[in-house]
Amino acid sequence: MSPLSLQRYAAEIIAQTDLLRAAVDGADPTAPVPTCPDWNLGRLLRHIGAAHRWADTIVSTRAAGPVPHDRLDAPAAYTDVAADDLGDWLTEGARALADTLCEAGPDAAVWTVAPGGTPVFWARRMTHETLVHRSDAALAAGAGFTVAEEVGLDALDEWMDFGTLPQVLELAQGERELLGPGRTLHLHATDVRAEEADRLIDLTRAPITWSRTPDRAAVTVRGPLTDLGTGPGSYLTDRVLALYRRPARGNAIEIIGDASLFDLWLDRTGAWLQE
């Protein structure tokens, strides 16, 4: 599956933000967010709205270099605003970003934090930034969480793309630890169409690569992708969200082989989250 179209990402940013608003309707803004230590719900919502505006600035100005993001973690405005009152602000930012992305088109040249260099990078990144933080907000507010299969698979693929970038592994100083004879990881979604069910990560040599290959591997991680209601954990909830260093919410995941290799891979390929 190729990345989604720019227009689809733009629409998804709005849709994910609308779902986020619904999830936190009436919620206490001071409620802790278990998956974002030391954050409360109000701070999480401000972070999402600020991220949308940051990406909007990058694309709308056709930035050729890094744009400061010091407002992302604690925007000065809205510091004491209740979660419900942030709703219109969140929607405004999401819609403005979507409009900016579509107006720029898929081929405009803009600065990106990783290879890409076009608005498509930011459309994809902000889609999944919003998706993952929606799951955080839903957990904090005690709300359900679902995601379309197509979007969930693309979230997984975005992680795979980041996790094989040489600069990410250099940042983690961990490629040497990961590599070795016979070191392969196989992620298998048990409830999606066969051609989309498998991701194989080759750690036998540099550069690290991934493919959609249903091969045997040293470590296999199996579980459903799309069972994302309020019930037991799922592939996306427990593994794609685990990729983003979110604790597992259930026990629907089966790991066959050396789980420590999978955990090491998660740790080393997650270095970009700390930037």
Could you read off the pLDDT of 218-274 as tens digits, one per residue?
A: 999 887 765 433 223 333 444 455 555 555 455 467 889 998 998 888 777 776 655
DSSP 3-state of 221: strand
Amino acid symbol at 78: Y
pTM: 0.86
> In this predicted structure, what is the pLDDT of residue 74?
56
Could you read off the pLDDT of 77-97 as tens digits, one per residue?
A: 555 566 667 899 999 999 999
Q: So where are the chain's domains?
A: 6-141, 149-274
> In this predicted structure, what is the pLDDT of residue 189?
81
Percent of the chain with pLDDT over 70: 80
Could you read off the pLDDT of 50-78 as tens digits, one per residue?
A: 999 999 999 999 999 999 887 665 555 55
159: closest CA among 97, 241, 246?
A: 241
What does the alpha-carbon distance between residue 5 and residue 10 come to, in Å, rounded to a whole number?
9
> In this predicted structure, what is the pLDDT of residue 76?
53
Which H/E stretch holds residue 211?
A: strand 209-211
> In this predicted structure, what is the pLDDT of residue 103?
98
Mean pLDDT of all residues in 7-28: 96
Task: From the options 3.30.370, 3.40.50, 3.30.1490, 3.30.1050, give the CATH code of 149-274.
Answer: 3.30.1050
Q: Which of 40-44, 101-105, 113-117, 133-137 has the highest mean pLDDT?
A: 101-105
Bigger pLDDT: 100 vs 237: 100
> In this predicted structure, what is the pLDDT of residue 234?
36
Q: How is 143-197 classified by DSSP, letter by letter? A: ------HHHHHHHHHHHHHHHT-HHHHHHHT-HHHH--TT-EEEEEETTS-GGGS
> 149-274: same fold as 6-141?
no
| CATH numeric code, 6-141 | 1.20.120.450
Torsional class of 230: left (φ above 0), alpha (ψ -120 to 50), beta (otherwise):
alpha
Q: How confident is the model at residue 148 (pLDDT cuts 50, 70, 90)?
A: confident
Residue 34 CB neighbours (<10 A): 13
> In this predicted structure, what is the pLDDT of residue 236?
42
**Terminal Cα-to-Cα distance of the chain (whole angstroms):** 28
